[in-house]
Amino acid sequence: MNLSILWLLFLNCYVVKPIHDVHVSVTEVNWESEGIINITTKLFYDDLQLAMGLVPGAELPASYPGADQMIKRYLDKNLEFYLDGKKIKPGYIKSRAALPAIWVEMTIPDSQKEAIKVIKVINRIFISQYDDQVNMVHFDVADRKSHFALDKKSTTAILNLQP
Protein backbone atom coordinates (compact mmCIF):
# COMPACT_ATOMS: atom_id res chain seq x y z
CA MET A 1 0.00 0.00 0.00
CA ASN A 2 1.20 3.46 -0.83
CA LEU A 3 2.83 5.27 2.15
CA SER A 4 0.76 8.43 1.59
CA ILE A 5 -2.48 6.42 1.83
CA LEU A 6 -1.29 4.89 5.11
CA TRP A 7 -0.46 8.36 6.40
CA LEU A 8 -3.93 9.64 5.47
CA LEU A 9 -5.55 6.67 7.18
CA PHE A 10 -3.50 7.35 10.31
CA LEU A 11 -4.51 11.03 10.33
CA ASN A 12 -8.16 10.17 9.80
CA CYS A 13 -8.23 7.57 12.56
CA TYR A 14 -6.10 9.23 15.20
CA VAL A 15 -5.51 12.91 14.61
CA VAL A 16 -8.48 14.64 13.01
CA LYS A 17 -11.18 13.06 15.12
CA PRO A 18 -12.67 15.32 17.75
CA ILE A 19 -12.16 14.42 21.39
CA HIS A 20 -15.88 13.78 21.68
CA ASP A 21 -18.89 13.61 19.40
CA VAL A 22 -21.40 14.67 22.04
CA HIS A 23 -22.28 18.35 22.37
CA VAL A 24 -23.91 18.70 25.76
CA SER A 25 -23.58 20.73 28.93
CA VAL A 26 -25.21 19.99 32.27
CA THR A 27 -26.21 22.65 34.79
CA GLU A 28 -27.50 21.69 38.22
CA VAL A 29 -29.29 24.23 40.42
CA ASN A 30 -29.58 23.13 44.06
CA TRP A 31 -31.05 25.13 46.90
CA GLU A 32 -29.30 24.43 50.18
CA SER A 33 -31.09 24.75 53.51
CA GLU A 34 -28.97 27.78 54.44
CA GLY A 35 -30.59 29.85 51.68
CA ILE A 36 -27.70 29.36 49.27
CA ILE A 37 -28.27 28.35 45.66
CA ASN A 38 -25.40 26.17 44.45
CA ILE A 39 -24.89 25.94 40.70
CA THR A 40 -22.68 23.36 39.05
CA THR A 41 -22.08 23.36 35.31
CA LYS A 42 -20.27 20.66 33.36
CA LEU A 43 -18.95 21.45 29.89
CA PHE A 44 -16.27 20.24 27.52
CA TYR A 45 -13.04 22.24 27.75
CA ASP A 46 -12.13 21.95 24.06
CA ASP A 47 -15.57 23.32 23.09
CA LEU A 48 -15.01 26.24 25.46
CA GLN A 49 -11.64 26.99 23.89
CA LEU A 50 -13.16 26.92 20.40
CA ALA A 51 -16.05 29.15 21.53
CA MET A 52 -13.52 31.66 22.85
CA GLY A 53 -11.65 31.65 19.53
CA LEU A 54 -8.73 29.64 20.88
CA VAL A 55 -7.02 26.48 19.65
CA PRO A 56 -7.86 23.46 21.84
CA GLY A 57 -4.81 22.35 23.77
CA ALA A 58 -2.84 25.53 23.11
CA GLU A 59 -1.63 27.82 25.88
CA LEU A 60 -3.98 30.58 26.96
CA PRO A 61 -3.17 34.05 25.62
CA ALA A 62 -1.97 36.76 28.01
CA SER A 63 -5.49 38.28 28.08
CA TYR A 64 -6.50 35.30 30.27
CA PRO A 65 -4.44 35.07 33.47
CA GLY A 66 -5.85 31.57 33.95
CA ALA A 67 -8.48 29.11 32.79
CA ASP A 68 -10.93 30.32 35.45
CA GLN A 69 -10.92 33.81 33.92
CA MET A 70 -11.75 32.36 30.49
CA ILE A 71 -14.50 30.14 31.91
CA LYS A 72 -16.03 32.95 33.98
CA ARG A 73 -16.00 35.36 31.04
CA TYR A 74 -17.76 32.84 28.80
CA LEU A 75 -20.37 31.81 31.38
CA ASP A 76 -21.15 35.44 32.29
CA LYS A 77 -22.24 35.94 28.67
CA ASN A 78 -23.98 32.62 28.05
CA LEU A 79 -25.55 31.45 31.32
CA GLU A 80 -28.03 33.80 33.00
CA PHE A 81 -30.03 33.43 36.22
CA TYR A 82 -33.16 35.31 37.28
CA LEU A 83 -34.99 35.21 40.61
CA ASP A 84 -38.53 36.61 40.25
CA GLY A 85 -37.50 38.43 37.08
CA LYS A 86 -34.41 40.07 38.61
CA LYS A 87 -31.12 39.14 36.95
CA ILE A 88 -28.68 37.67 39.45
CA LYS A 89 -25.00 37.18 38.75
CA PRO A 90 -23.76 34.08 40.57
CA GLY A 91 -20.46 34.20 42.38
CA TYR A 92 -17.81 32.12 40.63
CA ILE A 93 -16.18 29.72 43.08
CA LYS A 94 -13.87 27.49 41.05
CA SER A 95 -13.53 24.98 38.25
CA ARG A 96 -12.15 21.48 38.42
CA ALA A 97 -11.00 19.29 35.57
CA ALA A 98 -12.44 15.88 34.81
CA LEU A 99 -11.00 15.78 31.31
CA PRO A 100 -12.20 16.11 28.67
CA ALA A 101 -14.82 18.00 30.68
CA ILE A 102 -14.65 20.58 33.43
CA TRP A 103 -16.99 21.23 36.33
CA VAL A 104 -17.65 24.84 37.31
CA GLU A 105 -18.99 25.75 40.75
CA MET A 106 -20.94 28.95 41.34
CA THR A 107 -23.25 30.20 44.07
CA ILE A 108 -26.03 32.69 44.73
CA PRO A 109 -25.87 33.52 48.46
CA ASP A 110 -28.62 34.80 50.75
CA SER A 111 -31.56 33.61 48.68
CA GLN A 112 -34.82 33.72 50.60
CA LYS A 113 -36.42 30.41 49.70
CA GLU A 114 -39.86 31.34 51.00
CA ALA A 115 -39.94 34.60 49.04
CA ILE A 116 -38.83 33.35 45.61
CA LYS A 117 -41.66 32.42 43.25
CA VAL A 118 -39.85 31.82 39.93
CA ILE A 119 -36.32 30.80 38.98
CA LYS A 120 -35.36 31.26 35.35
CA VAL A 121 -32.18 30.04 33.65
CA ILE A 122 -31.18 31.14 30.15
CA ASN A 123 -28.53 28.77 28.84
CA ARG A 124 -26.83 29.58 25.53
CA ILE A 125 -23.68 27.52 26.15
CA PHE A 126 -22.22 26.54 22.74
CA ILE A 127 -25.61 27.09 21.02
CA SER A 128 -24.04 29.22 18.28
CA GLN A 129 -21.20 26.74 17.89
CA TYR A 130 -23.02 23.42 17.36
CA ASP A 131 -26.35 22.69 15.69
CA ASP A 132 -26.83 19.60 17.87
CA GLN A 133 -25.88 21.27 21.19
CA VAL A 134 -28.12 20.28 24.11
CA ASN A 135 -27.93 22.06 27.47
CA MET A 136 -29.45 20.09 30.31
CA VAL A 137 -30.72 22.05 33.32
CA HIS A 138 -31.66 20.20 36.50
CA PHE A 139 -33.41 21.94 39.39
CA ASP A 140 -33.56 20.56 42.93
CA VAL A 141 -35.19 23.46 44.73
CA ALA A 142 -37.68 23.62 47.61
CA ASP A 143 -38.49 19.90 47.40
CA ARG A 144 -39.16 20.24 43.68
CA LYS A 145 -37.15 18.50 41.03
CA SER A 146 -37.45 19.51 37.43
CA HIS A 147 -35.37 18.78 34.33
CA PHE A 148 -35.05 20.61 31.02
CA ALA A 149 -33.26 19.82 27.75
CA LEU A 150 -32.51 23.14 26.03
CA ASP A 151 -31.34 23.69 22.47
CA LYS A 152 -31.23 26.37 19.74
CA LYS A 153 -35.03 26.59 19.67
CA SER A 154 -35.47 26.82 23.43
CA THR A 155 -32.76 28.29 25.64
CA THR A 156 -34.86 29.04 28.73
CA ALA A 157 -35.78 26.86 31.71
CA ILE A 158 -38.34 28.19 34.18
CA LEU A 159 -39.12 26.68 37.58
CA ASN A 160 -42.32 27.98 39.14
CA LEU A 161 -42.25 27.64 42.94
CA GLN A 162 -45.74 28.95 43.58
CA PRO A 163 -48.15 26.44 45.14
pLDDT in tens, 26-50: 999 998 777 789 999 999 988 988 8
Q: What is the per-residue pLDDT for 113?
A: 63
What's the mean per-residue pLDDT of the chain? 85
Q: What is the per-residue pLDDT for 109?
A: 84
Average pLDDT over residues 3-26: 58
Q: What is the per-residue pLDDT for 114?
A: 66
In order of 30, 91, 123, 135, 157, the CA distances from 154 in angstroms are: 22, 25, 9, 10, 8
In order of 6, 13, 127, 147, the CA distances from 106 in angstroms are: 48, 38, 21, 19
Q: What is the per-residue pLDDT for 8?
A: 45
